C-alpha cells in the first residue's frame, strides 16, 4: 500500500495551496485529453483508445472530488474515496464488457490514429505524473489521484503497443488485448482504493461507535 501505511506520521490530506493548484492544472489536462481521445477512438474504431479516453474522464471526476473534500473530516474523505473506487470498478467492468463484445462485432482499428493519440496522451500523462510526484502517498483520497495518473501513463504506452500490433498484424486482436489489460488495471486500482477507503472509514466511525 505504500510507505504511508507504515509511518507514524499522519498521511497527507491535501492541505496545501500548491497541491490544489496542481490538481486544477491536472484536471484541465485530463478533460482536454478525454475529449480528444474519445473522438479519436470513435474515428479509429479502437476500444483501447476509447478505454483510455474514459480513464481520462474518470480521472477528471476523481480530481474534482478530491478538491471538493480536501480539509473535510476523515469520514467524508473516506466516503469520497469509496465513491471513486466504485466508479473505477464500474469503468473496469464496462471496458471488459465492451471488449468482449468487440471480439465478435468490432472492426479493425486505424493504427496510425491510435499511435498518434497514444503519443499525445502519454505526453499529457507524464506531465501530470511529474506534477503529482511529490504527493504520491497520502490518505485514500490523495492516493486515488496518484493511482489514476499512473494508470493513464501505463495505458498510453499500452495503446501505442496495440497500434504497432494492429499495424503489423492487420488484426483487431492487439487492440482488444490491450483494452482487456487496461480493464484489469482499473479493477486492481479500484480494489486498492476501496480497501484503504474502507479501513479509513472504520477508523473514522470508531469514535462515533464508542459514544
Q: Is residue 3 part of a domain?
A: no
pTM score, two decimals? 0.66
Parent domain of 19:
14-210
Q: Is residue 178 part of a domain?
A: yes
What pLDDT sits at residue 6?
Answer: 46
More confident residue, 13 or 187: 187
Q: Are 184 and 93 in contact (CB under 8 A)?
A: no
Q: Is residue 145 part of a domain?
A: yes
Digit-coded pLDDT (tens) for 102-126: 676 656 777 788 788 878 888 888 8
**pLDDT(64) > 70:** yes
C-alpha cell at 78: 473516506
C-alpha cell at 186: 482499473
Q: Is residue 5 part of a domain?
A: no
Smallest CA-to-CA distance from 121 within 190, 22, 38, 25 is with 38
Angle in degrees, CA 82, 88, 89, rounded to 5: 90
Q: Is residue 199 part of a domain?
A: yes
Q: Is residue 66 part of a domain?
A: yes
Q: Are 47 and 98 in contact (CB under 8 A)?
A: yes
Given the C-alpha cell 499495424, which residue does it identify? 167
Q: Taking residues 36-44, report their average pLDDT.
A: 84
Digit-coded pLDDT (tens) for 170-184: 777 777 887 788 788
Q: Is residue 77 part of a domain?
A: yes
Locate all alpha helices (DSSP H) within the chain, ordered by sequence.
Answer: 17-44, 47-69, 74-105, 111-132, 140-169, 173-210
Q: Are 129 and 57 in contact (CB under 8 A)?
A: no
Give the integer Cα–Cα distance in Å for 109 and 125.
23
Most confident residue range from 11-15, 18-22, 140-144: 18-22
What pLDDT sits at residue 198?
Answer: 92
**pLDDT(208) > 90:** no
CATH code, domain carrying 161: 1.20.1510
Beta-carbon count within 10 A of 17 CB: 7
Mean of all residue pLDDT scores within the chain: 80
What pLDDT sits at residue 80?
Answer: 86
Residues 6+ apart with CB under 8 A from 104: none
Please state the domain count of the chain.
Answer: 1
Q: How far is CA 76 from the centre of its chain?
A: 21
Cα separations in angstroms, 152 against 13, 33, 145, 147, 183: 23, 11, 11, 9, 12
Beta-carbon count within 10 A of 76 CB: 14
Confidence band for 52, pLDDT divided at 50, 70 and 90: confident
Q: Is residue 35 part of a domain?
A: yes
What pLDDT sits at residue 59?
Answer: 81
Amino acid at each position: 500500500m505504500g510507505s504511508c501505511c507504515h509511518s507514524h506520521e499522519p498521511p497527507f490530506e491535501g492541505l496545501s495551496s500548491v497541491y490544489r493548484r496542481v490538481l486544477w492544472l491536472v484536471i484541465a489536462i485530463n478533460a482536454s485529453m478525454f475529449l480528444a481521445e474519445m473522438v479519436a477512438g470513435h474515428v479509429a474504431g479502437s476500444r483501447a483508445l476509447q478505454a483510455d479516453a474514459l480513464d481520462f474522464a474518470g480521472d477528471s471526476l476523481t480530481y474534482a472530488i478530491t478538491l471538493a473534500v480536501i480539509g473535510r473530516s476523515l469520514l467524508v474523505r473516506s466516503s469520497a474515496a469509496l465513491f471513486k473506487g466504485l466508479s473505477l470498478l464500474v469503468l473496469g467492468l464496462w471496458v471488459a464488457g465492451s471488449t468482449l463484445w468487440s471480439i465478435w462485432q468490432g472492426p479493425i482499428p486505424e493504427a496510425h490514429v491510435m499511435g498518434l493519440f497514444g503519443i499525445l496522451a502519454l505526453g499529457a500523462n507524464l506531465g501530470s505524473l511529474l506534477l503529482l510526484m511529490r504527493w504520491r502517498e497520502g490518505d485514500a483520497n490523495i492516493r486515488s489521484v496518484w493511482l489514476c495518473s499512473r494508470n493513464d501513463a501505463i495505458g498510453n504506452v499500452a495503446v501505442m503497443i496495440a497500434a504497432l500490433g494492429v499495424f503489423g498484424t492487420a488484426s483487431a486482436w492487439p487492440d482488444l488485448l490491450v483494452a482487456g489489460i487496461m480493464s484489469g488495471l482499473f479493477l486492481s486500482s479500484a480494489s486498492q482504493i476501496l480497501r484503504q477507503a474502507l479501513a479509513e472509514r472504520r477508523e473514522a466511525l470508531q469514535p462515533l461507535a464508542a459514544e
